[in-house]
Structure 1
Amino acid sequence: MLPIVAVIGPDPASSTVIDTATEWGSVEAATWIERAELYGPHDDPIEKLVSALRRRGMATGRLGLELGSGRLPHLSPSDLGRLRMLLPDAAFVDASDLLHSVRAIKSQAEINVLRRSANLIVHAFQAVCQSLRPGLTEVEMTRIASSAILEAGGTPDLNPTVLIFMAGSQRYRAPLLPATERPVGRDELISLDGGCSVQGYHSDFARGAVIGRGSPEVISQFDAVVQALTAAESAIRPGRPVGDAWSAAQVVLDDAGLGDAAVNPINIGHSIGLDHWERPTIARPGSEMGDVRARPGMVLCIEPQVAGAHGDDSWSRGLFLVEDQILVTDSGIEVLTAAFSPQLYVIGGT
């Protein structure tokens, strides 16, 4: 991948994008930066970047880049090494935390797009559940959801739609594998998880369903996860640490005898926006992320999930997962995915 670099200095008016002539049209339509310095197939993008920094008096001092764990700076290790070599008087620092803190609070325009993305994935999962029948395959469920998103006004996006539908004892431990042609059977827990994107902004949502009757243990564990979700959402309040939500969910799971069966014991959710997983995560109190305070404008995904309880080491009974996307407001929260109840969706009962 050829590097695309935004150069943002003390004077925002002097900001520029180092980009290819081929890609600039698409980037220009999606950024507030009005100018670009373009390079061709035989040009050196790192030299172009160094030249832009020097002209702006930014070749010395501190230069912040996204260098933290899990970040995508779009500079290869060799490109970053050359940048350091060509700017020996500059100090390169990790600006990931600063950028995370800025991105954590969404503007009203971003909130509007995220609400639209959440509405689309809710509509898609409702369409899948209304179509469920024995013999329907994971691939067919994916096709139904994708069609529902497009029919509801969604448009293809460079960010892929992530749709995970699975059922059966052999599938619960492999939720990130592609959809299969395996048919859904009666009385199996069906997990629906994933999201779509609108103008690059993601949704993330999960529900569960069963055709016929689930076993009492399956029903009980799913109900506990739903109660954990409700408790976690009730604990999210502006000014309070997001770790309060982790604690509230954990109390419910402990009371249900599922406290040791959390799939991710460290956190029960994450922020969302241009990336599917953003900071802060909804982590346990006392951790770096758990002590972050909720603020109006944050869009969070709350997703308690358990598996493998009571000796079910192979997860044969199911992956018990529900997930909502919420907006932190001045007075509390708005559940952006509230149009689809988190309760287990049951088709028939005989």
Structure 2
Amino acid sequence: MSTETLRFELTDGELELLPSAADVAFYAEHGWYLSPKLFTDAEVDALAAAAEAYYAGARSRELPVRPPRLAAWKPSDGPVQRHNDYVHYESEAIARVLCKPLLGAVAALLAGASEIRVFQSTLILKPAVAGEPSNVVPWHIDKHYWSTSSSERMLTAFVPFHDCDEEMGTLTVVDGSHRWREVGREDSVTRHFADRDRDDLERLLAVNAAHNGAEVRKVPLVIPKGHVSFHHCRTYHGSGPNVSGRPRRAVSFHLQDGANEYRRFALSDGSAAVYNHDVLVRRLPDGRPDYADPEFCPVLWRSPGAVALPGAGRDDG
């Protein structure tokens, strides 16, 4: 979806759904926010239908190359938890609903940014299979995977396709953990949680909580259909098993502020960390990957009066 197809306007009704100053302050303190109903039932149902078509093989276009750490569930993988990246790129039907300016405007207020771009989108299905190990998502923070991003204000919108509660294994956050000073970081944290040892991730959470003298207060987010949860890129989060008897379906929609750009992040051996975008997006004049490439990272929201700058897309906030 190109930026030309997006209109950065909100209706009077949508303006009433934006977070208040108190909501923004809550997000700044706690690292998460649960929105009012941002998507209509019809829009959510359209997302669910588009997801089913995607699982059946429907693609508006395909990635030109396969990145090294691409999450791409296929039927032969069986009844494990499904993760499929870049669905906003590969499915126009998903992007048409998901890339809603209202969602971007909410994210912009929470992040304190004048522009919000898509960073990544992951279609998720947590099957109703008792005891399936992949259904339990260990504690992690998204910024670890985004080490090549300069911004500390990136955030994730979790968009379920139905009412989502603890029984379904809803998203659970560690309240206020985005404000912790991080210790014990290793190269391994740049890998996806599915490629990490679960006990090691649990240990890292405990170490950081202890270092900060903090209580590990876990908050399961009960999200009604059409509502969206947002969490800061440094908020610890995970999810439990799905014991509801029904699949848990959602999109994890990762967002970047307009100031975000690629930065080289050195690993302990001196090599550079790599994100999947780095083999897909266009290059800046200095050779760096362009995280403002509209093909893969389209603008979701730009505040009225904000100027779109060339290159990596910097903004004033």
TM-score interval w.r.t. the shorter chain?
under 0.3
Larger Rg: 1
Q: Which has the higher contact order (CA 8 A, sep 6+)?
A: 2
TM-score scaled to structure 1, two decimals?
0.24
